[in-house]
Structure 1
Amino acid sequence: MDHLKIIKTPEEHEVALARLMELMDADPQEGSREADELEVLAMLIDQYEQREFPIDRPDPVEAIRFRMDQQGLKNKDLIPYIGSAPKVSEVLNGTRRLSLNMIRRLNAGLGIPADILIQEPIQETASEKDIDWQAFPLAVMQKRGYFEGFEGSLQELKEYAAEWVTRLFSGVRGGFELEPAMLRTTSHLRTNDKVSDHYALWAWQARVLQCAAEQRLPNTYQSGTVNLEWMRNLAQLSWSEKGPELAREYLEKSGIHLVIEPHLPKTYLDGAACAGTRGSPVIALTLRHNRLDNFWFTLMHELAHVALHLDGNEAWFIDNLEAESGDDKEQQADALAQKALLPEGIDYRSITRASFVRQLANDLSIAPAIIAGRVRYETGNHRLFGSAFREKVAAEIDG
């Protein structure tokens, strides 16, 4: 057996075949030197032939036509599996690819092996997942541009939902590992008794990571950058009419992503903090309540998670800030956010005049809306000051 080696050329293949036939004719006894040589030689020949003469996978359309011939089926008999007469014609003519839905119906109804019908890697990935693809809010996701390159109808998207959602999750690191956030010990979901759609939340998380991955930050994030002083410097940018856009620049220069992504139905989100695909923190805001005070407090709350809880781990902090929380980490983030935005020791319940709000804002060099929002929160009177200090977030931040 000392002469055995990996077969690399046609000539070596011929020599190996001749030796294989010689050993087989000799019919060596099991356990003998010749029997061992026969076994190893057969493996080497098989490796060479698989490498040099790969067998093409059967064509899915040919497999369907073969089964039709076997069972005497007409085109119309495939409608229950493919969807309509035009779709059947398109599939058989090779102008429409099979969807994973079609493949499963053909496999169950006609017994055609799924591994023959599955030709695309994205379908192979999707077929391994036990996921209800129709449970995602596909219509809203399509409208918001989650599926880049898709130009079909909603009905078409539903047919190929497995492929397009899998493409979304495969495009971000750990996309499938996010399922579902509510049950992950590395995720912290702050919510109330409203029903949270876990599929919608999962899609939103993937979209946030996708958007963050498309951003190019000018600097690398340094652990420990976000602290109380850093947050207070950021808060003073609120004094400018372009405060939200300046905040984006401030975060990006510190190596932090800021993603504005509206929440999906039944998720009730204000913001989230997580680690991006390159390790930089990602702050995501939904602007569910499109007001300056909400923008600044949510931003500070998520940055507080970065300062206190996120550095060095890959947890998600997902927040509905209207919800009360007994979680120590949420209470810590609330406290640090308040401390960064406004000084302690002021009786905000006693502030009732808009003029005093403006004067205090001027003294502190922050947006009046932040003070007004704190007063409304402390007093529980959300009608206080009427429409004053209810500015919306500047349009340029939304994107």
Structure 2
Amino acid sequence: MKIKLIKTVSEYDQALERIELLMDLDSMSQDQEDELEVLAFLAEAYEEDHFPIDLPDPVEAIKFRMSQEGLKRKDLEPYLGNKSRVSEVMNGKRPLSLTMMRRLHEGLGIPAEVLLQEKNASLPEPVSIEWSKFPINEMHKRAWFKFDGSTRQLRDHAEELMRKMAAGLEDNLLQPILNRQQLRASKDFCSYAMTAWRLKAISEATQTKLLEKYEEGSITDDFRRELAKLSYLDQGPLLAKEFLNKNGIHLIVLAHLPKTHLDGASMFLANCEPLIALTLRYDRLDNFWFTLFHELAHIALHFGGDKESYYFDDLESSTEDIIEKEADAWAAESLIPHEIWRTAGLDHGASKAQIQFFSREMRINPAIPAGRLRREFRDYRIYSDLLGNKMVKKLFTEQEG
């Protein structure tokens, strides 16, 4: 028989017949022994690919080890938790967590691939992350992941849920964001919530294909003017997303998580594609355009060769940081150049008609000068009807629908 890789059932049957014939021989030559060994190897490889043996159920594996070791259910408490949890696991009402799996693997010697239900799998090494601090319940409510257990079991499974979300993305993405130099945030922000939001933002961006590659230095004055003038159009925010995409920049909208107080963020993906993510925490056109340009300022001015950095911004939070002040000034200049704003003569007493006339002349949305006047005079009671309240989220919601 000519020895070759087994690819079909017919070839597999022929190999078995030859193996059986060789094994029935009273004695074999060295060539026949070598032939038998090779055929057996090829047949086994074909069987593994086409007739895989299912891994035993983890609970059944636990029961088998209990039988071997003469263990009772109370002996499982060091591995699974209290009596109630042991009962839930053994009755199939609670999935095993990674913590339980590690204890069962180390204490009872149950193979990792059986516990994980994946051939040749190994358990991830423990790391110094407090998994229970991630806002798992809120993430589950938003359908950021699937979980087959009950809601009260979520926190016990935080590690595997977060690891699954981060699978295939950047290294160290699960390490909590702690470098406050890159955070313009309120004092009570939660680093774990911020990390979870960042993970979801990156995950969303990686599912979007950019139409062009981003080029360093491409955010010119003309680029800024073109983008700002899109605000004049009813579909401006959606057109801004398309405009940025065609210039190699991701723009996604992702609602903030509690204790992040987040308006927007800017970062680079592992493949060096820039990402701007906005929360629309305040669903107003003035907020959308200013935050967008603030984050774009970071992309244009502040990353340089450090593509592993990131910026997270609560624009209500006061700051003395030079970089953040520079981004604020760059955003304001992009939307309305300082010299034009100075000569326009708009002040705290400007009428609605004056603001609208100025906006038509500039070909920008009136929410932009109205919002600027509110910020400059720190009077957030004025011009509320010009801000484009509740006009942004619905655009992105309708687009998704």
Tell me which interval the TM-score lies in, with the shorter structure as reference length.
Answer: 0.7 to 0.9
Instruction: Tell me which residue corresponds to 1:18.
Output: none
Q: Give the alignment partner of residue 85 of structure 1, picking from 74, 84, 87.
A: 87
Instruction: Tell me which residue corresponds to 2:176.
Output: 180
Instruction: Tell me which residue corresponds to 1:142.
Output: 140
Instruction: Tell me which residue corresponds to 1:222.
Output: 215
Identity fraction in percent: 38
SS at match of 2:323: helix
Instruction: Tell me which residue corresponds to 1:199.
Output: 192
CA contact (8 A) 2:263 2:280 kept: yes
Seen in structure 2, the aligned counterparts of structure 1 residues 237 and 122 have a Cα distance that, compared at 3 Å, is: farther
SS at match of 2:178: helix
Seen in structure 2, the aligned counterparts of structure 1 residues 70 and 115 have a Cα distance that, compared at 3 Å, is: closer
**How much has 1:324 moved relative to structure 2?**
1.8
RMSD: 3.2
1:32-111 → structure 2 map (5 Å cutoff): 64-65=62-63, 67-69=65-67, 72-75=70-73, 78=76, 81=80, 83-90=85-92, 98-104=96-102, 106=104, 111=107
Q: Give the alignment partner of residue 273 of structure 1, picking from 266, 270, 282.
A: 266
Instruction: Tell me which residue corresponds to 1:294.
Output: 287
* Count of residue pairs the alignment pairs up: 339
Seen in structure 2, the aligned counterparts of structure 1 residues 144 and 11 have a Cα distance that, compared at 3 Å, is: farther
Q: Which amino acid aligns with 1:332?
A: E
Instruction: Tell me which residue corresponds to 2:395.
Output: 396
CA–CA distance in 2 between the matches of 1:123 and 1:134?
22
Seen in structure 2, the aligned counterparts of structure 1 residues 352 and 265 have a Cα distance that, compared at 3 Å, is: same
**How much has 1:350 moved relative to structure 2?**
4.0
Instruction: Tell me which residue corresponds to 2:126.
Output: 128
**How much has 1:123 moved relative to structure 2?**
7.0
Q: Is 1:190 aligned to 2:184, yes or no?
A: yes
**How much has 1:61 moved relative to structure 2?**
5.1
**How much has 1:141 moved relative to structure 2?**
0.7
Q: Which amino acid aligns with 1:145?
A: A
> Segments of 4+ in structure 1 off by > 6 A?
56-59
SS at match of 1:310: coil
Q: Give the alignment partner of residue 382 of structure 1, picking from 380, 384, 397.
A: 380
| TM-score, scaled to structure 2 | 0.75
Instruction: Tell me which residue corresponds to 1:163.
Output: 160
| TM-score, scaled to structure 1 | 0.75
Q: Which amino acid aligns with 1:159?
A: D
Seen in structure 2, the aligned counterparts of structure 1 residues 114 and 134 have a Cα distance that, compared at 3 Å, is: farther
Seen in structure 2, the aligned counterparts of structure 1 residues 324 and 86 have a Cα distance that, compared at 3 Å, is: closer
Seen in structure 2, the aligned counterparts of structure 1 residues 122 and 337 have a Cα distance that, compared at 3 Å, is: farther
CA–CA distance in 1 between the matches of 2:375 and 2:277?
23
CA–CA distance in 1 between the matches of 2:227 and 2:244?
9
Q: Which amino acid aligns with 1:164?
A: L
CA–CA distance in 1 between the matches of 2:148 and 2:58?
25
Instruction: Tell me which residue corresponds to 1:22.
Output: none
For structure 1, the residue ranges without an aligned partner over 5 or more in a row are 1-9, 16-50
CA contact (8 A) 2:132 2:158 kept: yes
